[in-house]
Amino acid sequence: MKELLYLLGLFLLILLGWDYPIFQPLKLLVVFFHESSHALATLLTGGTVKDLMIVKEQGGQVISAGGNRFIILSAGYLGSLAWGVGIYLASVKTKHDKKIMALLGLTIAVLTLLFTHTLFSWVFGALTSCLMLLSAKFLSTFYNDFLLRLLGLTNMAYVPLDIYSDTILHAQLRSDAFMLATEFGGTTVLWGGVWIVLSVLLIFFCLRWSVSRVN
């Protein structure tokens, strides 16, 4: 029951603060995870990444060559969701929040150094990684746990909303689903719908497991 109340409280905080500037960095980090997932999928399928860019308007893109296009295009939203689920469950199911925060900060630093070349993207990645490392060093386990849960839940909440906006509400935009439909068939709405169903199912099972007894 305590875990469930904590979860509901975090969701209420996210809901109330969603449109306030304080959530802007968290939303940008979701975009960073989205684009990083494209970049990692490119490398894992034999391609090369030339640049990873994010912009303050909560957009971004990866410039790459080669690799498996189906996997690369599918990796953005689903990969970003996997980041959120992994971060949230790691914070809930373990007591190593400070180590998790430090590892996440180092991971973002490495991704930034490997892939980003534009000023805003580099500064955002460098600043985010530094803040995470400082949090792991100086803040207590309680605060690191809170921040990780907030980041994980924000990521999970953002992904299906972003899929709906990009692929269904604005199906004419050049989104991942639009390019997938163009290159492999189907429609933007079809691919967006598939991703929404998958993301909602993954979020449901993640949250259900998170409130179960820790082994």
The interaxial angle of helices 188-210 and 69-93, nearest 10 deg, is 20
Interatomic CA distance for residues 95 and 109, integer angstroms: 23
Q: Contact 29/151 with Cβ under 8 angstroms?
A: yes
In a domain, 51, yes or no: yes
Question: Does 184 reside within a domain?
Answer: yes
Give me the domain span that covers residue 92: 2-210
Q: Is the pLDDT of residue 214 over 70?
A: no
Query: So what's the pLDDT on residue 92?
Result: 94
Does the residue 215 lie in any domain?
no
- The reply to whether 8 falls in a domain is yes
Instruction: Examine residue 48 and state whether it is found in any structural domain, yes or no.
Output: yes
Count how many Cα atoms sit within 13 Å of the Cα of residue 156 in the half-sphere of its side chain: 26
pLDDT for residue 215: 43
Has this prediction a pTM greater than 0.75? yes
When divided into structural domains, the chain yields a total of 1
Q: What is the pLDDT of residues 54-108, one digit of tens each?
A: 999 999 999 999 999 999 999 999 999 999 999 999 999 999 999 999 999 999 9
pLDDT tens per residue, range 26-62: 999 999 999 999 999 999 999 999 999 999 999 999 9
- Is 57 inside any structural domain? yes
Among 53, 46, 48, smallest CA distance to 64 is for 48
